[in-house]
Amino acid sequence: MWMLLLFCVLLLVLFFYARSGVAPESALKLPARKGPLVIAHGNDCGNGLFPGNTQAYLQYMVEQEVDAIEIDLWLTADGHLVLRHDPNLEDSTDGSGFIEDCTLAQLRNLNAAYLWSRDGETYPYRDKPLRIVTLEEALQLAGSTPLILDIKSEQLRAAHILNDVLEHSGKKSQVIVSSFNQRVIQEFRRLSPDTATGSTSWEAGLLFFAQLLRAERLLAPRYQTMQLSMYFWGLDVVTRGTLRAAHKLNLHLSVWTVNGRADLQRYIALGVDGIVTDRPDLLMAMLPGRGSKKRPKLLEQAS
């Protein structure tokens, strides 16, 4: 019995070893920096400088010369990808219902930052409405700044529409596509094998546990980047071991969402490749030669 079990384990190890390899090459071009890339977080939950996933957010992050901007994408009822984090409209707009039940024209009538507030008492955008932004508009607003595109929709059609938009825009080398939905990201990878993608939670978890056994070389990642949360199921998953394993597999590893100075300093010292934060101004001030830029008029207007 034990011999049979050992034989099966050996066959399994040999199978993984035969299919193993480093992450495949992609068209992605990220800034070459000493220290972590500064990545703005699209869903600021009121912790940031501007309402996330809005035109004001994108314009400010470009002005501040962050290294990359993260945005979230949902699919409208008439087939457009728009920037929002949550599926419902009640979280931050003056509308109700679900994004995927609305047409783009219906969403355009809403104020995307109606309920946004830094202090829970003042709402600076009620008199200065911000409209919901499409992916095409976001690509234009971002200019040459790389984008992390997080597909929130669970519809496979979202992967097809995203691929069509990127093909038409010619910006495949400027984006990383990610999703928590394994089916959606697999479909996008099938459609666009030369576009960089991020790991799913399952893929990231597999790498984390593999590196505990120093067995990361048995993996065959189909993704080029990892955006890991600071903690997963209470575990501190962004460690020297995880970083070492990721680099062995030619993966770019970023951590999210880091806002406190102590945590920012901890991940800078750890040597992660990127830090996703609601406060890129704080992170840039902590990095040599990356001090925050001149305070833009957009921020003065919202104060």
Same domain (yes/no): 176, 225: no
Name the nearest CA neighbour of 278 among 11, 39, 62: 39
How confident is the model over 37-56, as pLDDT tens digits? 999 999 877 788 999 999 99
User: Which pLDDT does position 45 carry in this prediction?
Assistant: 77
Distance CA 61, CA 232 (A): 28
What count of other Cβ atoms lies within 10 Å of the Cβ of residue 276?
Answer: 26
Show the 3-state SS of the chain: CHHHHHHHHHHHHHHHHHHCCCCCCCCCCCCCCCCCEEEECCCCCCCCCCCCCCHHHHHHHHHCCCCEEEEEEEECCCCCEEECCCCECCCCCCCCCEHHHCCHHHHHCCCCCCCCCCCCCCCCCCCCCCCCCEHHHHHHHHCCCCEEEEECCCCHHHHHHHHHHHHHHCCHHHEEEEECCHHHHHHHHHHCCCCEEECCHHHHHHHHHHHHCCCHHHCCCCCCEEEEECEECCEECCCHHHHHHHHHCCCEEEEECCCCHHHHHHHHHHCCCEEEECCHHHHHHHCCCCCCCCCCHHHHHHC
Distance CA 223, CA 192 (A): 12
Tokens 């040599």, residue? 288
User: Which pLDDT does position 68 carry in this prediction?
Assistant: 98
Does residue 287 register a pLDDT over 80? yes
Same domain (yes/no): 222, 279: yes
- Considering the domain boundaries, does residue 7 fall inside one? no
Position 22 confidence tier, pLDDT thresholds 50, 70, 90 = confident
Same domain (yes/no): 65, 184: yes
β-sheet bridge partners, residue 69: 40, 147
For residues 290 and 6, the model is more confident at 290
Same domain (yes/no): 188, 221: no
Q: In total, how many domains does the chain have?
A: 2
User: Which pLDDT does position 167 carry in this prediction?
Assistant: 97
Position 5 confidence tier, pLDDT thresholds 50, 70, 90 = very low
CATH of residue 132:
3.20.20.190
User: Which pLDDT does position 138 carry in this prediction?
Assistant: 98
Distance CA 274, CA 251 (A): 12
Same domain (yes/no): 248, 152: no
How confident is the model over 93-107, as pLDDT tens digits? 999 999 999 999 999
Structural domain span for residue 93: 51-192
Does residue 213 register a pLDDT over 80? yes
- Between strands 37-40 and 231-232, the pairing is unpaired
Interior angle at CA 207, CA 225 and CA 17, nearest 5: 105
Q: Is 146 exposed, middle or buried (0-12, 13-18, 19+ CB in 10 A)?
A: buried
- Considering the domain boundaries, does residue 34 fall inside one? no
Could you give the C-alpha distances from 36 to 45, 132, 286, 287, 302, in angstroms and in order?
23, 30, 11, 9, 29
Distance CA 270, CA 139 (A): 32
Distance CA 277, CA 111 (A): 24
User: Which pLDDT does position 46 carry in this prediction?
Assistant: 74
Mean pLDDT, the chain, rounded, equals 90
Does residue 292 register a pLDDT over 70? no
Distance CA 25, CA 163 (A): 18
Does residue 7 register a pLDDT over 80? no
Lowest mean pLDDT among 130-144, 201-215, 223-237, 284-298: 284-298
Same domain (yes/no): 106, 220: no
Helix axes 182-191, 156-169, angle to 10 degrees: 40
Specify the pTM.
0.90
Same domain (yes/no): 187, 82: yes
Does residue 18 register a pLDDT over 50? no
Does residue 6 register a pLDDT over 70? no
- Considering the domain boundaries, does residue 248 fall inside one? yes
Same domain (yes/no): 161, 222: no
For residues 25 and 296, the model is more confident at 25
User: Which pLDDT does position 1 carry in this prediction?
Assistant: 57
